[in-house]
Structure 1
Amino acid sequence: MLNVVAAMLKNNNDNILIAKRQQGKSMGGFWEFPGGKIEQGETPEEALIRELKEEMNIDIAIDNYFGENIHRYDTITIKLIAFQGSIVKGNIKLSVHDECRWVSIEELKNFNFAPADKYFVEKLMEE
């Protein structure tokens, strides 16, 4: 099983940051909550901070654990661990996504999310 982290980052307007995976990559064209793989020796929180710095050039603060979802794809099973937080420094500069947007929780239903992320879309909309 592959352990992966995701961030539900909110801005001052309570909008959430979502990002579209690059075409040609795994799950290309799907929207997701930004994050990435946990490397050996990292805590989930450390991995999330590192991944957002590498992929978006931002420093984040993690506020709290949000949940986890185990999803089986055809060739791999992932455990997606999610945290809520905010950007504390930096301007977003994409390196592995085609675009990103700040959207309201209500607007999340208008985007085609990667299957593992759909669980968190539903959870956010229930709160």
Structure 2
Amino acid sequence: MLLLLYSSLLSYMLFFTLCVAPVSNKILDDQNKSKFLRNIFPKNFVFGGIIASIALIFSFILKDHWSIIISFIIALGFIINLFIIMPKINYISDNNNLEEKKKKKSFRNWHLSSVFIYLVQIIMAVIGIILNI
């Protein structure tokens, strides 16, 4: 079951990274892209958080200590992205009182932190797969 859950996490995260995000950046204008991304990212993080939480529950049931750590880190990443980073990015994007240079720098830093967390989650899912083969 853990192999299926980690494989599901990895495959959907890669699909989102390699297909959904680049296509939206390529074909949508800024206004529609913003609406689309603000709508899909929360769903992305909730979906991943649910799968990671299910993996965490199964890890406890199976007493798989490494999987407990891995699934906890993955779930925590989704929580941080959903409740801390994403609202901060939206606030920065919406705040017209910020100087444009500072706005771009803050957005870039928060976005990079989100991307870094997502990359760590992908790596952890790969490790989860390897440990459960």
User: TM class by shorter-chain length?
Assistant: under 0.3
Alignment TM-score, normalising by the size of structure 1: 0.25
Name the structure where helix makes up a greater proportion of residues. Answer: 2
Larger radius of gyration: 2
Alignment TM-score, normalising by the size of structure 2: 0.24
Name the structure where strand makes up a greater proportion of residues. Answer: 1
